[in-house]
Structure 1
Amino acid sequence: MQIVLATTNLHKAEELTALFQSNGLDVTFIRSSDVIGDLVIEETGHTFEENAYIKAQAVFERCGLPTLADDSGLEVEALGGEPGVHSARYAGASATDADNRARVIREFTTLNINSSPAAFRCVLCYIDPLRTLFGVGSSQGAIQTQERGSNGFGYDPLFIPTGETRTYAELTPSEKQSRSHRGRAVQDLARHLAPLLNNEGHAVEPDPLPAVDALIMASVAAVKDQEEHLRTAIRLFVRSTADARMMYEALLQSYLFAGFPVALEALIVLDDEVRKLIPDFAWPDAAVYDVDAFRSRGAVLCEQIYAGVFDKMMSRLGAVTPDLNDWMIVEGYGKTLSRDGLDVVYRELCNVAVLAVLGRKNQLTSHVRGARNVGATVADLLACADAVTEWAGKESGDLLRSTIERYA
């Protein structure tokens, strides 16, 4: 199978062909410049995921053939995550690899440091007429100021992967490939592509995406209006009516923090995808609207989530706005968050992810504590922060991670 690669770089096409074939996929990549000519694509995204999608979509719209794009870069802890998505142009729009490395060294000199933890990250985005898929890989290590080695390119002479004493530029191509961020992203994407390319169908993988990962990814995609990401989360998770119901509950509750339009549009996408995956599927009837029952079970859940500060919070809220005081219990915790169909820990992790993306710091603090109160572990929350970083960007992920460190 041939896949159009959004690049003019022949070396990259050859490298990705070798990587995918080493993962058992019989594919060959051809440069987009050989199919549609040169195309200038403005990489306006704030994350690797966004830029990979922008490039893949731009090429796919023009050629209509299966398309792959990648975006990758270096994130240096001491530089606050820079160069990040600007890695290729860190020293300016026309910067060379040497220029970019020189700027990193200058920044380290200004900070009076010789090294810093760092990571290379790579995101692959595959688009064809039926689907959009992502693969993500990273390589942890450190950046130091002494350039060593003559292999590789970019920041390779400065980067020492974890467990090594040599830089990427001192490794052989096969040694680098075995631990590189691009190789790991290929492995991640290949496990989703393999059943499609081998005509094995949707259900070949019984659970390719764990429930909590899929639900968080879908919740974030809904809030950020990333329809293709949302469709990908649904396709990679839903295998049964129970899966569909879990996804329904996660997206339904998004209206509490993100509003009815967000929830409605997400649920329309869910319905479209589920009916393709499970042709005879039918949604259950709406729940009986019982305000007394909502108020009763809502109070129980709200007290469980807010634990020791419940009475103080309700007293303060009642003094400020008696209406919202009652609505929060009835509408939020009774009618919505205590519904059947989704475990309360999963609900709270999805809420935490949504609040991090929205930047709602006060509510985020409350729900990080609430997630712990209903049984989520610190490891669960940190995994949620990783997912938020992956799908919503470093700023949202860092907000959640710092909140966890302070309050969980």
Structure 2
Amino acid sequence: MQEIIIASKNSGKVLEFQELFINFPCKIISLQELPAVVEPEETGNTFLANATLKAQYYAKHYHKPCLADDSGIAVEALAGAPGVYSARYAGPKASDLDNIKLLLANMQDVDNRACQFICALALVNAQGELLFTAQGECKGNLLTEPQGTNGFGYDPIFYSLDLNKSLATASASEKNSISHRARALQRLVKDLESYYALSSSK
């Protein structure tokens, strides 16, 4: 069974990918299962640029295919912020709660609560050559206070227009049916199937 690295140490994100990959003939391994290396600096101005950068970096280091994502929340009233800075919105070592508090403070008394989660995926081979990319979106509205304890990141303040509830109150299966990562992966499915078929025939 082929191993594919998921370029993340975020246990919540890795679990989502493992569930989303359950029907594919591969073993998903996270960075937590591999010898530690210095993390690459995310210098891209777009989610896709950062995803590609991370995938190529880890594939070349570990000599295995790598799937990386860059994702975050884009708030309409903040011109798309936090965007690519979502994970470090409140600082380089900010917790999820720190980021949530800052975003809610910046959105205080703002009527337009429209926002979306965006996920860009980049899959590279063991040599770091880019194979496939995809992007998915999940639209919603920003809540004024956290609701629920499931998920991670900004889930507690993201009201999903698909589910009509906070993502942090949704089950894993509910979230995976409409999430930005799920939609990005769904757009990658046919390419992935071809990729596995070619790999197994070699």
What TM-score comes out, normalization by structure 1 length?
A: 0.46
Contact 2:147 2:156 in 1 (8 A): yes
Amino acid at match of 2:114: P
Give the deviation of 1:164 after TM superposition: 3.6
Contact 1:5 1:13 in 2 (8 A): yes
The corresponding residue for 2:53 is 54
Give the deviation of 1:36 after TM superposition: 3.9
Contact 1:17 1:27 in 2 (8 A): no
Instruction: Give the distance between the partners of 1:200 and 1:65, measured in 2 at CA.
Output: 13
Instruction: Give the distance between the partners of 1:105 and 1:33, measured in 2 at CA.
Output: 31
Alignment partner of 1:123 is 2:120: yes
Alignment partner of 1:113 is 2:107: no
The corresponding residue for 1:137 is 136
The corresponding residue for 2:84 is 85
Counterparts of residues 278-357 of structure 1 (less than 5 Å): none
Q: Structure 2: which 5+ runs fail to align?
A: none
The corresponding residue for 2:19 is 18
Contact 1:33 1:39 in 2 (8 A): no
Instruction: Give the distance between the partners of 2:164 and 2:112, measured in 1 at CA.
Output: 13
Amino acid at match of 2:37: D
Instruction: Give the distance between the partners of 1:162 and 1:10, measured in 2 at CA.
Output: 26
Amino-acid identity (%) = 37
Amino acid at match of 1:94: K
Instruction: Give the distance between the partners of 1:106 and 1:35, measured in 2 at CA.
Output: 38
Contact 2:12 2:152 in 1 (8 A): no
Amino acid at match of 2:156: P
Instruction: Give the distance between the partners of 1:185 and 1:170, measured in 2 at CA.
Output: 22
Counterparts of residues 24-43 of structure 1 (less than 5 Å): 24-43=23-42
Tell me, what secondary structure is at the counterpart of 1:60?
helix
Contact 1:137 1:185 in 2 (8 A): yes
Q: Structure 1: which 5+ runs fail to align?
A: 202-408
Tell me, what secondary structure is at the counterpart of 1:133?
strand
The corresponding residue for 1:151 is 150
Q: Deviations over 1:37-95 (max 9, x none)?
A: 23321000000000001111111111221111110000000011000000001111111
Contact 1:126 1:133 in 2 (8 A): yes
Instruction: Give the distance between the partners of 2:173 and 2:77, measured in 1 at CA.
Output: 30
Contact 1:36 1:63 in 2 (8 A): no
Tell me, what secondary structure is at the counterpart of 1:174?
helix
Counterparts of residues 74-223 of structure 1 (less than 5 Å): 74-109=73-108, 112-128=109-125, 129=127, 131-199=130-198
Alignment partner of 1:3 is 2:4: yes
Give the deviation of 1:137 after TM superposition: 0.8
Query: How many aligned residue pairs are there?
Result: 197
Instruction: Give the distance between the partners of 1:58 and 1:200, measured in 2 at CA.
Output: 21
Instruction: Give the distance between the partners of 2:7 and 2:199, measured in 1 at CA.
Output: 27
Give the deviation of 1:33 after TM superposition: 4.3
Contact 1:36 1:62 in 2 (8 A): no
Instruction: Give the distance between the partners of 2:159 and 2:5, measured in 1 at CA.
Output: 32
Tell me, what secondary structure is at the counterpart of 1:199?
helix
Give the deviation of 1:191 after TM superposition: 1.6
Instruction: Give the distance between the partners of 1:113 and 1:56, measured in 2 at CA.
Output: 37
- CA separation of 1:140/1:193 partners in 2, compared to 1, >3 Å: closer, same or farther? same
The corresponding residue for 1:390 is none
Give the deviation of 1:26 after TM superposition: 1.6
Give the deviation of 1:31 after TM superposition: 1.7
What TM-score comes out, normalization by structure 2 length?
A: 0.90
Contact 1:142 1:160 in 2 (8 A): yes
Amino acid at match of 2:144: T
- Structure with higher Rg: it is 1
Instruction: Give the distance between the partners of 1:82 and 1:166, measured in 2 at CA.
Output: 22
Q: Deviations over 1:181-231 (max 9, x none)?
A: 011111112221101202399xxxxxxxxxxxxxxxxxxxxxxxxxxxxxx
Counting helix residues as a fraction of each chain, which structure ranks higher? 1
Amino acid at match of 2:43: T
Instruction: Give the distance between the partners of 1:131 and 1:193, measured in 2 at CA.
Output: 13
Contact 1:156 1:168 in 2 (8 A): yes
